[in-house]
Every structure is written in C-alpha cells, then in structure tokens.
C-alpha cells in the first residue's frame, strides 16, 4: 500500500512524516513521535483514553488516521503544562492538572490524559459548569478506579480557579 507524506502540528511543533494510511493517529503519536501520554485502551472509540485535541476539539485519536492530521493543529496531554522558563524552575501544570492532583482525581492514571483532554475544551466553553453538565461531558470517558466523584470535584475546582485567575 502506498505510504503517504503528511504534515501536521503537534503541541505547537511542526512535524512532517510518512506513514501507511492505516496508521491510527493514536499509534502515530505514541510510536512515531514518542508522545506516550496519550493512552490506548479499547481502540474502538468506547473508552476515551486516547482523546486528543484536533483544531481545539476533543476527538478520539484511535478513530482517526494519522494521515488525516494533515494541516491540523494537534494537542496532546504533553502540551498542557507550560514549560519551565529558560534558566531553570519547573514546568507549570495546567490548572486542571493541578486540580486533579489536589482532588485525588486519579488512581491508576490510565484514563487521566483522555479525561484532561476532554475537559480542557469543555472548560473553555463552560467556565462555570454544574455537576450534571460535567458528568455529561465526561460520559465518553471510562474510569474504573475513581467512581468519577473526585474527577467531578477536580473539574469544579479547576473551573473556579480559572474563572478567578
């Protein structure tokens, strides 16, 4: 099968690669770019672990072909934290990441990247979400550890801080 060249932008960095058309975006991110923060659970669009942003929208990267990323802006969990300023210091976590840490919104962490990438655009359009709205937005992400309670709390905490900051 004919390999195809394509160009895309991942976390602000332009990349140009060649791939078989059947390569899934999730596998491209993990294996070709080494961005293993995007997790792969079910590979058929049920679990949400592989959610990434494509032109700012949350999509399942196991249901897109890598070649379809041509000309798109991708953002993965690696692109959430702000890099440390030159000269030292630490990376600055995204407020949602901070809130997840504080509210114990993860245990094993397998689903976390997908949930973060789902809730980041959600919070941009819903700065003050109530609990039912958060649960609806979370409906496409499976977490088998937390029971979701702490995830909902973390999202509310992050929303509050992002509103006031």
Partner 1 sequence: MKPPPFDYLAPETLDEALDALAEHGYDAKVLAGGQSLIPLLNFRLAHPTVLVDVNRIGDLARIEENGGGLRLGALVRQATLERDPRVAECDPLLAEMIPWVAHPQIRNRGTLGGSLAHADPAAELPVWAVARGARLKLSSRQGERWVEAADFYVGLMTTALEPHEMVTEIEVPEMPAGSGWAFEEFARRHGDYALMGVAARITVDGDVCREARLVYMAAGETPTPAPEACRLLESEGLADAAIDRAAALAAEREIEPSPDIHAGVSFKRHLAAVLTRRALRRARDRAGAARAA
Q: Where on the chain is the footprint of partner 1 (CB under 8 A)?
A: 1-2, 4, 20-22, 24, 27, 43-45, 48, 51, 57-60, 62-65, 67-68, 70, 118, 122, 136-137, 139-140
Smallest separation (angstroms) from partner 1 to the CB of 90? 31
Helix (H/G/I), strand (E/B), else coil: 61: helix
Cβ nearer to partner 1, comparing 20 with 102: 20
Give the shortest CB-89-to-partner 1 separation in angstroms. Answer: 34
Burial class from Cβ neighbours inside 10 Å (0-12, 13-18, 19+) for residue 32 reads middle
CB of 99 to partner 1, least distance (A): 20
Residue closer to partner 1 by CB (options 10, 115) is 115
* Rounded Cα gap, residues 23 and 107, in angstroms: 30
CB-nearer residue toward partner 1: 74 or 137:
137
Nearer to partner 1, 21 or 85 (CB): 21
- Who's near 100: CB < 8 A, 6+ residues apart? 106, 112, 116, 151, 154, 158
């Amino acid at each position: 099968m004919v390999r195809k060249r394509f160009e895309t932008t991942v976390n602000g960095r332009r990349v140009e690669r060649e791939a078989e058309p059947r390569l899934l975006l999730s596998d491209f991110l993990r294996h070709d770019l080494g961005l293993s923060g995007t997790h792969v659970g079910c590979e058929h669009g049920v679990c949400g672990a592989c959610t990434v942003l494509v032109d700012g929208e949350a999509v399942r990267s196991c249901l897109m072909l890598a070649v379809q990323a041509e000309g798109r802006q991708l953002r993965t969990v690696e692109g959430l934290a702000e890099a440390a300023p030159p000269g030292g210091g630490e990376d600055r976590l995204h407020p949602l990441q901070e809130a997840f840490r504080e509210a114990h919104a993860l245990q094993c962490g397998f689903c976390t990247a997908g949930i973060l990438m789902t809730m980041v655009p959600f919070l941009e359009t819903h700065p003050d979400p109530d609990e039912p709205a958060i649960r609806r937005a979370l409906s496409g992400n499976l977490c088998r550890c937390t029971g979701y309670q702490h995830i909902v709390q973390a999202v509310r905490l992050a929303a509050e801080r992002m509103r006031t900051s």
